Structure 1
Amino acid sequence: MSVPDVPELLDHAVAALGGTRRDGQVTMATAVASAIEDAEHLAVQAGTGTGKSLAYLVPSIRHAVESNETVVVSTATIALQRQLTERDLPRLASALAEPIGREPKFAILKGRANYLCLNKVHTGVADEPDTELFDAFELSRTGREVTRLREWTSDTETGDRDDLPQGVSDRSWRQVSVTSRECLGANACPYSEDCFAEIARRKAGASDVIVTNHAMLAIDAMSPATILPEHKVVVIDEAHELVDRITSVTTEEISAAGVTLVARRLGKLVSDETADALVGAGEQLGILLEESQNGEWTRLPNGAGEILASLRDRLWNARSEIGPAKPGTDPEAAAARQMAMSATDSLHDTVVRTLTVFGEADITKRFDVVWKAVDDFRNNTRHTLRIAPLSVAGLLRTSLFTDSTVILTSATLTLGGNFDALARTWGLPPHGDVNDDGASGNGWRGLDAGSPFDFPKAAILYVADRLPPPGRDGIAAATLDQMVEMMTAAGGRTLGLFSSMRAAKEASEKLRERVDFPILCQGDDATSTLIRRFADDEATCLFGTLSLWQGVDVPGPSLQLVMIDRIPFPRPDDPLLSARQRDVDARGGNGFLTVSANHAALLLAQGAGRLLRSTADRGVVAVLDPRLATARYGGYLMAGLPPFWKTRDKGAVVAALRRLTAG
């Protein structure tokens, strides 16, 4: 039987699911279908309430069924993965079974480390505890959690960490899981037939739609092996986070603790002399990192080249000494050998990558950024050398966009009024307007599918142009006064988005003394618990930083005021973003606008997007940073925000909030 076209399938699905027709959803679904048919990349901005999941799933399923090809859907967050696989896809598959002639199949596919490893569980091969983090209570808790995980092995059908009834620490999970590099491989593992990761992979290979994450996309792009089943179409939801997630996957680190862990894993696989030499190299590295300055390394500190080269050579000697496993090696010994080889290879490759950076004297020709960071774990300070790509555009361009037709979508993709800023970071050529209905000539086009919200009638954007600019000496008294006045007018119901945790805590402490309603602050409890408490009590306010800018979905009267303390520019001492800004400047571009302003514009749009989550919502977004009104870049940042009714009149805002509260 012939498969109905996308508009007909979408109408059928919407009716079956009890929804109503949305023009933006139809526009997006039609555009996605055309992009797939024409093999043209598509970027779609679809505001909250558009129904973008259905708009890309319907044409994806139609294509998969008609062509007998798998479509990959990638998300940035676990929450969206669950929404797709536990709610959207099961209902949609059932709804489309009749018109397309069969029920579409779907599966979720994650990295191997997300699944229990039966070989590791049954052989008892475990990671050594990190001496820097050694703590008797933690070790006891880890033991209890690992025991529970081993018992869970006989109860679970998926072995998926996210299906665990009660969560465990990352340390405990590592005792029962392996990375892809640590895996023995299906041919060598005695548990390959029952392997949870392999079962998930086989199920994915037989599915019409596979749901995965951006990290898996990166691993698939970088790996010579096939990670994802063969596919020609990729849908990237939450595409505004694609670059950050890919960057995270391609970031590596070197530390004295990491060298010690590798030496422990080597155990009796190498001679005492080789192990001692490696430990000695790790100690030298530790001293070097403790004595070196924090931040970016544009050149190697005195002695660093020799120490890193020594570490590289000793890791290579150890790796060579391990050698291949002998035939008949028992599974426990084989697993220990594989883990040791993986850890050694990984650290060796990272050291080589770091030395390669400084092999290029011209800083403008380097592809990676190296910096030293200091992290605190339970009052223990760890000095770490990190290395990350200056850009992932080349990786995305030569792998993802060359091999597949890609649909990129999010509620916030346009910065400064078009898609060009994000397109550059994805490796696509800049070209055009938001509503580009024709072919671009550059292999992709952008589409703004609109929003069901009447922004000018539903919300006010207030810019406090008469407040003092934010500084380093804490929140100004006048700014705190305005916060109190607006929060009081709103009767609580406030989400405070701050540029730092220090500012969020300062505002919480000072305002609790001046208002009569509860103020929750991120860090007081689990973030999910705080959001739930905020949503359940209309008078409660919630203050926090980065994760709240993107992670709060609270429709209704519990949220009527979003306060933003300052334009969320990146920290000036952020080594990676500073290096990227310098690189743009060196190539004749505007580094501030390309990196810092775009970073701020994206977060600002995400933060403002917390206010309207349903068509019945009303309220105010208040930006308490006068630079949005007075600085030259203010107009560029404003162009990325929803078209709220704009004002600089505080009195009008307070009066509007009072009317909302009274209503």
Structure 2
Amino acid sequence: MITEPARGSTVTQTIDNDTADMSDVEAGAFADYVPSSELQKVLTEAVSLLGGSERPGQVAMAAAVEQSLRSDGKLAVQAGTGTGKSLGYLLPALLYCLHEDARVVISTATLALQNQIITKDAPLAVEAVKNVTDSELRVEVLKGWQNYVCLHKLNGGYEGSEDDLFSTMEDSLAPGAGGGGEAASGRGTKTARQMRGFAAETKKLYEWARETTTGDRDEAPRGISARAWRQVSLSSLECVGEKCPFRSECFQVSARDKAAQAQVVVTNHAMIGLEAAGKQNPLPPCEAIIVDEAHELDERVRSQASTEFSANMLATCAKAAGNLGVSGSEELSQQAIMLGVALQNLEDSRLTQMPEAVAECRTLALPPLKAALTELSAKSGSDAGSDGEKHADAAKTAVAKAALTSLLDTLETMTPESVANGETILWLSRGRDGDQEPRLYTAPLDVAGKLANRLWSEHAIIATSATLKLGGTFAPLIHKMGLQLEEPQPETLDVGSPFRHDRQGILYLARDLPAPTRGEHPEVFWDRLVELVEASGGGALGLFSSRKMAERAGEVLRERTDLSIMVQGEDSMAALVNDMREDTSACLMGTLSLWQGVDLPGNTCRLVLIDRIPFPVPSDPVIEARCAAVKRAGGSDFMEVSLTHAALLLAQGTGRLLRSAADRGVVAVLDSRLATARYGGFLRASLPPLWPTEDAQVVLDALRRLHQKVS
């Protein structure tokens, strides 16, 4: 049984009490973390510019970051919502750069945080430092090459070069392509609608691209698909480099030049992943790396190092080589046919050994790929022809070279030996609906070692997040990031949160509900969900384990309530979240992407519903491989993989409730295992310290009081 205060106590009344003390951290709690006098002045100045008050947790964090940077150390710091962690590391980082003539790279996982740093936190931090030291430092953002408009491509420089590895050809290869009859007619109608939509997107994008001064994708109009963006962008491998007639105006080059001149560079985890994977990386040299949203780092790095291999990719490379008159085309075409047959005979699953036919295709494809690349490199140095012809040839050659280089890198990484020893995870998939061309995918099993070997050992490292502790310890996430491989071991610090979680929010543990099964939730589950939503008068964010359950929740709530109910997928995420912000009675039901990054402060979100503990799907190839590796090492795959995965997501989902000091509400976990299972204690220890109860009536009464206050 969960220990809780008696019903009717003061604590049960506080989620609708605006006068509750919001400071969770006492000033004396961090006696060992005292900032230098200069940093204290800068912190005071930043608080003054904000019009706020000093936060002990932020001061302690800033002092710890300052000490770690000065000593070239490693630090993992958990800073709960409301701490102001961005300023907690920006201010000491700027002073470090100023006095040590150094550069610091800040890496984030989400676009929202990156934009917040660049547009809000960094300008304030720079101003505070300038007011105290009379020195103005530069902070610049740096994104991947494909995040910017390519002026050469925009002006037709890559016309006719689209048959490359990076544009899909699935339409011609998908099952059912071609043919006639009623079904074909229906597909044709759908395709026509899609083409019209794509044409409208492209027109809007081109109009913006010809006016932008930054070329930054994040500033493009809303509703631009990845396919449309591809029409005005390219990868760094496809760039013609110094031969480009727009080199002096290039957005990508300009962004890199600015980053090279800045003291602080803000980037994303994908760029860190490139560095860890040993790939071409435009990050400038630096002395320190600050990883914000560090709980997501290992998955982002693994994703960056993932590759794919298919018959279509081989055929596309063969065509590119043939069009440019270099050798290898015939051999690659033959291997594309052989690979297509081999993959059609395989089932969608993880492969612990590379199939013999696939290994043979890989071996036979390597020599013609290398030969073609050698000839393309020689061809790219040719100066024959007019300027226009040279530019056109250079573009076509660059695209082909990029396609072949990418495929060669994939094949050299995807060796039969690395698959057999478990170093590389290999699986085959035909897509979610099973109607795509069969493709092989690879991902590295271990990213901790890559991070430690290529990054951690050479820089001062600060890792921070609101959720770095799982089960009350830093160990699981430090291990996933590879920081435990460093000597000395990283320092750890939890600065808490300025929020009073136990006074602002309730954690409802539905012990009396039946434990969930793989099938449909029972009727009693839906009855309880409707009770909770009606008691709160809406303002509910539903976090579900599957899209099917989220859609079912939408159906049930629409049938049984008069509230405005929205379901993920019915509109863009930004539009749905905005609609909820504008209507305090609206409810939003969704799945994975709502568990993290959604910010709904105030009365718009007073009830967070979680249908079940978010354990990973056991059949996921990466999860399956990680579990197998833990078992081989004699560990518990449930504890080290499944439970830590669930704890992290559960903590992130619970964190959607309290986004400001004025927020009040309930997190309702309708999975009785959180209260009854042996592992429930580990999961509860990973959550923000909300006041726990198993009494549904206490929760319903609290929600009704909160609803009355809002309305």
**Normalization by structure 1: what TM-score?**
0.92
Tell me if structure 1 keeps the 8 A contact 2:506–2:666: yes
Give the corresponding residue for 1:303: 357
1:124 and 2:161 aligned: no
Give the corresponding residue for 2:23: none
Aligned equivalents of 1:541 and 1:198: distance in 2?
A: 44
Aligned equivalents of 1:154 and 1:501: distance in 2?
A: 39
SS across alignment from 1:551: coil
Residue 217 (structure 2) aligned to one of 161, 167, 172:
161
Q: How far has the Cα of 1:141 moved from its partner?
A: 5.0
SS across alignment from 1:520: strand
Tell me if structure 2 keeps the 8 A contact 1:127–1:174: no
Give the corresponding residue for 2:662: 616
Q: How far has the Cα of 1:318 moved from its partner?
A: 3.6
SS across alignment from 1:155: coil
The one-letter code matched in structure 2 to 1:372 is: L
Give the corresponding residue for 2:135: 102
Q: Which 10-residue stretch deviates more, 455-464 or 561-570?
A: 455-464
The one-letter code matched in structure 2 to 1:155 is: E
Give the corresponding residue for 2:338: 284
Q: How far has the Cα of 1:280 moved from its partner?
A: 3.4
Partner deviation per Cα, 1:264-314 (whole Å, 9 max, x = no partner): 43342236x843442332233233223211120012345333233334444
The one-letter code matched in structure 2 to 1:489 is: A
Gaps of 5+ in 1: 431-439
Tell me if structure 2 keeps the 8 A contact 1:530–1:542: yes
Q: Which 10-residue stretch deviates more, 7-16 or 225-234?
A: 225-234
The aligned runs of 1:100-499 (5 Å cut-off) are: 100-122=133-155, 123-125=157-159, 126-128=161-163, 130-133=168-171, 135-139=191-195, 141-142=197-198, 145-146=201-202, 149-185=205-241, 187-223=242-278, 227-270=282-325, 274-301=328-355, 303-325=357-379, 326-329=381-384, 330-354=390-414, 356=415, 358-359=416-417, 363=420, 365-375=421-431, 380-429=435-484, 442-499=488-545
Aligned equivalents of 2:365 and 2:382: distance in 1?
A: 31
Residue 514 (structure 1) aligned to one of 554, 560, 573:
560
SS across alignment from 2:378: coil
1:563 and 2:609 aligned: yes
Q: What is the Cα-based RMSD across aligned positions, in Å?
A: 2.2
Aligned equivalents of 2:281 and 2:530: distance in 1?
A: 56
Tell me if structure 1 keeps the 8 A contact 2:149–2:232: yes
Aligned equivalents of 1:141 and 1:525: distance in 2?
A: 16
The one-letter code matched in structure 1 to 2:225 is: S
Partner deviation per Cα, 1:165-213 (whole Å, 9 max, x = no partner): 445322232232221222233x443332222111111111111211111
Distance 1:418 1:277, change over 3 A: same
Aligned equivalents of 1:140 and 1:256: distance in 2?
A: 30
Tell me if structure 1 keeps the 8 A contact 2:470–2:686: yes
Q: How far has the Cα of 1:224 moved from its partner?
A: 6.4
Distance 1:610 1:210, change over 3 A: same
Give the corresponding residue for 1:553: 599
Aligned equivalents of 1:50 and 1:447: distance in 2?
A: 13
SS across alignment from 1:513: helix
Give runs of ≥4 in structure 1 deviating > 6 Å.
none
Tell me if structure 2 keeps the 8 A contact 1:71–1:208: yes
Tell me if structure 2 keeps the 8 A contact 1:72–1:231: yes
Relative contact order, higher structure (CA 8 A, sep 6+): 2
1:7 and 2:7 aligned: no
Count of paired positions: 645
Q: Which 10-residue stretch deviates more, 454-463 or 150-159?
A: 150-159
Q: How far has the Cα of 1:156 moved from its partner?
A: 2.1
SS across alignment from 1:47: coil
| Percent identity for Structure 1 against Structure 2 | 42
Gaps of 5+ in 2: 1-35, 173-190, 385-389
Q: How far has the Cα of 1:8 moved from its partner?
A: 1.3
Q: How far has the Cα of 1:360 moved from its partner?
A: 5.5
Residue 70 (structure 1) aligned to one of 103, 116, 140:
103
The one-letter code matched in structure 2 to 1:180 is: S
Distance 1:614 1:307, change over 3 A: same
Partner deviation per Cα, 1:367-424 (whole Å, 9 max, x = no partner): 11001122259x9523221000001001110111111111111111100111100011
Aligned equivalents of 1:144 and 1:560: distance in 2?
A: 39
Distance 1:91 1:428, change over 3 A: closer
**Normalization by structure 2: what TM-score?**
0.86
Give the corresponding residue for 1:433: none
Tell me if structure 1 keeps the 8 A contact 2:321–2:328: no
Aligned equivalents of 2:570 and 2:205: distance in 1?
A: 28
Q: How far has the Cα of 1:226 moved from its partner?
A: 5.8
Tell me if structure 2 keeps the 8 A contact 1:119–1:331: no
